[in-house]
Amino acid sequence: MVNQSVLKLAAEEIAQANLLVVLSGAGISKESGVPTFRDAQDGLWSRYDPQELATPAAFRRNPDLVWSWYMYRANLVSSAAPNPGHFALAELETVIPKIVILTQNVDGLHEQAGSNDIIELHGRLGRWKCFANCRGTPTVIDLAQIEYDAEHAPKCPYCTDRLRPDVVWFGEQLPTNALDRALEVAQQCDVMLVVGTSGVVEPAASLPQIARSAEAKVIEVNPEPSMITADANFFLQGKSGEILPALVEAVRAQA
């Protein structure tokens, strides 16, 4: 059970915020049935380290293996639905003047839940592009227009390279406009709410420190302490699907 007095203090900070920025990680989608990044991958993938598969080198080395891993994950995510944590953040938009969601997740569940201002820092599962970006960055290809299967990385219809998921791999730059805007709102926000991230992956993991050094209050929601917890003013320990609805209720009670 989350500490009620910490929840009330956090709700007071959010209720007074003009700009609330949310940084979300894989943990917010766990209660939607989407495995987190560092959970042991289920079944077929338990023998691979995701960090080894989510790289350009892995794709170059074995395009069909990486392609089928993303096909598997895209399929998993396509049957996932937002959970009460996602919906609570969408509802908060009716209470707080401005909310921006910075998500590390590639599952599209914030958008499905009805949040409006979302920055996808690491791209999106289910969007596919030419590895060479032969017709501009990104050269997105609609799979419905080509022949393909779940086991083999198909060829780009415009060049000889192969198709890949439109996600940011380790060692790749984040989309410039996404990162620039994330840095801007992290410096401007009154409160940053950090939900379900281990705080390991950079540069996203530095955003709470940036907010903190710009005088924002940092609130973390996580069942476990993370690399962010030391920078948090308030640590709400528990599952986001339970804590976020309670937090929104407490914010409404402040209004």
**Three-class DSSP category at 55:** coil
Applying CB under 6 A, among 42, 52, 149, 172 the residue interacting with ligand BV8 is 172
Applying CB under 6 A, among 157, 159, 170, 181 the residue interacting with ligand BV8 is 170
DSSP 8-state assignment for residue 35: P
Applying CB under 6 A, among 99, 239, 247, 250 the residue interacting with ligand BV8 is 239
Applying CB under 6 A, among 7, 10, 11, 37 the residue interacting with ligand BV8 is 37
- List binders of ligand BV8 among 63-92 (CB under 6 A): none
Q: Are 222 and 237 in contact (CB under 8 A)?
A: yes
Residue 128 touches ligand BV8, criterion: CB under 6 A:
no
Q: Are 92 and 101 in contact (CB under 8 A)?
A: no
Q: CA–CA separation, 90 vs 171, rounded Å?
A: 32
Total residues interacting with ligand BV8, rule: CB under 6 A: 37
Of residues 48 and 98, the one with the C-beta less far from ligand BV8: 48
Residue 101 touches ligand BV8, criterion: CB under 6 A:
no
Applying CB under 6 A, among 10, 21, 26, 74 the residue interacting with ligand BV8 is 26
Q: CA–CA separation, 158 vs 212, rounded Å?
A: 46
Residue 222 touches ligand BV8, criterion: CB under 6 A:
yes
Q: What count of other Cβ atoms lies within 10 Å of the Cβ of residue 207?
A: 28
Measuring CA to CA, how many Å separate 214 from each of 92, 118, 144, 148, 208?
Answer: 23, 21, 46, 48, 10
Q: What stretch of H or E contains 126?
A: strand 123-130
Of residues 72 and 170, the one with the C-beta less far from ligand BV8: 170
Residue 203 touches ligand BV8, criterion: CB under 6 A:
yes
List the structure tokens of 229.
Answer: 């917890």
Of residues 106 and 210, the one with the C-beta less far from ligand BV8: 106
Residue 104 touches ligand BV8, criterion: CB under 6 A:
yes
Give yes or no: 122 in active site: yes
Annotated catalytic residues are 122
